[in-house]
Amino acid sequence: MDGTRDAEGLAAAARLRRFAVEAAEAHGFIEDVARAGLLADSKAALEASAGSATRRDDGDRGNESSVGVTLSSSLSLSFDVPPERPLEVLADYRLDCDGSGSCCRLFPTIVFTPRDVASARAVLPDVMSAGHDEQGAFTPSQGSRHQLSVVTLVDGRCGYLEPSGRCGIHAASAASWKPFGCRTFPLSFVDDGTSVRVVPRPECACVPRSARVEGTVGTAGPPGGGGGVSAMAGEALLGGGLRTRGDLALEAFVHAVPDPVPLAEGTFAPRDALARWSRHVAGLATPDAAAAFASLAASVEERGLDEARAAELMATPTPLDWEQIRHRLETIRASSAKRADDGFRSGRDLAQQAFIALETACALALAAPPLFTGGPRSEREAGAEAFHLRATIFGHLVWHLEGTTDLAEGLHALSARVIAARALGAVAEIGELSDPAFTWPLSLVEAMCRGYSLEAPEAHAD
């Protein structure tokens, strides 16, 4: 910290480097780093920081975990997960990548570590002349200098993605040479104080397709299972021998559920209660994920993490709160419209196609709610929704949602996403959108909302 441990000194040093940092922000950063045990004398750092900036009270700490670096969502990166913490993997599921490369041509950034950059330049030196000049293919992920890099995108595609959809780095060498994030995507690791939950993020068409969700309507899987998942082709989510947090690579981001867990309207519960509740709810059957997410939200608002009440409302869902869904759909629609008008994307850019389709889908749902609020439109769609709910609840993915302040709010947001996905499926059919990414609309909605913060009101502000 440039030899200083006080907030004013840190903020001043940042401002000299043209970063707009206030003392209060610097104080918060020092607190987070100290609580994570990353300072030689954390107690002294906290005391020094408190001397030059007003300490935030507990109410101002929002969704921060007791340790870790706070992210934009309610999760934080956890640096103190005991190495013996067991990994709890979504049961009876194997991922079968179809090689279409949807994940390599949709997200706004694809991060490379220094080792990843060196590997890519070594095996494919002619791609964007990166072998001669690293800046031809990579830029710092933040600012002018940063340890992590992001790869250049061409029409929204990773510069190393082949026209066939295959990873060029993988094809020229081996899977182990691919960037670490690409090798582990779509896995999510979330610590709930009891175990580290491991599930596939439902953001890629491969995820529900691998679950073979056709014909699984209303079928409950085992606790933590995929709701009728029958697929055993493909690869296990974790390789053999990976049993605890200590077995994971150092680069693996393990997020932490906040403790205590914010439930609704200022109510909280310990993390171990959420761990039990999510494991139980993940095994419940549902024919309608939109109604199920909304019912779980109502259950949490009414009785907290009452497993019996959750099961009761899942079996007999509460009516959807259309006003709340309408507001969320309007936000996604407006954000998508603004992104579609950015002007720098080509028509070949998958994200651009998705922005336009999602704007249309939300407008359609807003204009004709009964078409999409009465349940899934097909058995296939119902199966995808059922798997989605189980993976999301079991893996604590609700805490990845942008701006989520409590569990109930996150569940309401997920209910609206399901409605948007049903409408997107209809738009894809009507528009005969042939890209593989549109074959599983709910995964596309999830990827777009997280990748481009479409649910944040400021995303479409003038």
Q: For 176-193, write each residue's pLDDT tens digit.
A: 899 999 999 999 999 999
For residue 51, pLDDT over 70 is answered with no
pLDDT of residue 216: 40
The 10s digit of each residue's pLDDT in 344-391 is 899 999 999 999 999 999 999 999 999 999 999 999 999 999 999 999
What is the average pLDDT across 255-267? 93
The 10s digit of each residue's pLDDT in 291-336 is 999 999 999 999 999 999 999 999 999 889 999 999 999 999 999 9
- Residue identified by tokens 């604590």 is 396
For residue 448, pLDDT over 60 is answered with yes
For residue 445, pLDDT over 90 is answered with yes
pLDDT of residue 62: 33
Q: pTM for the complete prediction?
A: 0.80
For residue 236, pLDDT over 60 is answered with yes
318: left (phi over 0), alpha (psi -120 to 50) or beta: beta
pLDDT of residue 30: 78
* DSSP strands (E only) in 10-68: none
pLDDT of residue 79: 59
What does the buried/exposed string (b/e) look like for 269-286 if buried means 16 or more CB atoms within 10 Å of the residue's CB? Answer: bebebbbebbbbbbbbbb
The DSSP H or E segment spanning 187 is strand 187-191
Is 109 in contact with 150 (CB distance < 8 Å)? yes
**What residues contact 290, with CB distance under 8 A and at least 6 apart?**
320, 373, 375, 385, 415, 416, 418, 419, 422
3-state secondary structure 59-123: HHHCCCCCCCEECCCCCEECCCCCCCCEEEECCCCEECCCCCCHHHCCCCCCEECHHHHHHHHHH
What is the average pLDDT across 446-451? 95
d(CA 433, CA 87): 39
pLDDT tier, 218 (very low <50, low <70, confident <90, very high otherwise): very low
In degrees and rounded to multiples of 5, residue 188 shows phi and psi of -125, 135
Nearest of 418, 328, 337, 343 to residue 375 by alpha carbon: 418
pLDDT of residue 18: 58
pLDDT of residue 451: 93
pLDDT tier, 157 (very low <50, low <70, confident <90, very high otherwise): very high
pLDDT of residue 400: 77
pLDDT of residue 226: 32
Is 357 in contact with 426 (CB distance < 8 Å)? no
SS3 171: helix
- CA dihedral in degrees (311, 314, 316, 319; nearest 10)? 140
Is 445 in contact with 106 (CB distance < 8 Å)? no
For residue 58, pLDDT over 80 is answered with no
What is the average pLDDT across 442-449? 97
d(CA 49, CA 57): 14
Q: Higher-confidence residue: 68 or 206?
A: 206
pLDDT of residue 224: 39
For residue 458, pLDDT over 80 is answered with no
Nearest of 9, 11, 45 to residue 26 by alpha carbon: 11
The 10s digit of each residue's pLDDT in 89-113 is 999 999 998 877 789 999 999 999 9
Listed by start position, the domains of the chain span 7-61, 111-178
pLDDT of residue 158: 95
Q: Higher-confidence residue: 252 or 74?
A: 252
In degrees and rounded to multiples of 5, residue 235 shows phi and psi of -110, 150
pLDDT tier, 40 (very low <50, low <70, confident <90, very high otherwise): low
What is the average pLDDT across 263-273? 94
The 10s digit of each residue's pLDDT in 119-141 is 999 999 999 988 888 988 999 88
Percent of the chain topping pLDDT 90: 62
- Residue identified by tokens 């403790």 is 259
pLDDT, the chain, mean: 84
pLDDT tier, 402 (very low <50, low <70, confident <90, very high otherwise): confident
pLDDT tier, 27 (very low <50, low <70, confident <90, very high otherwise): confident
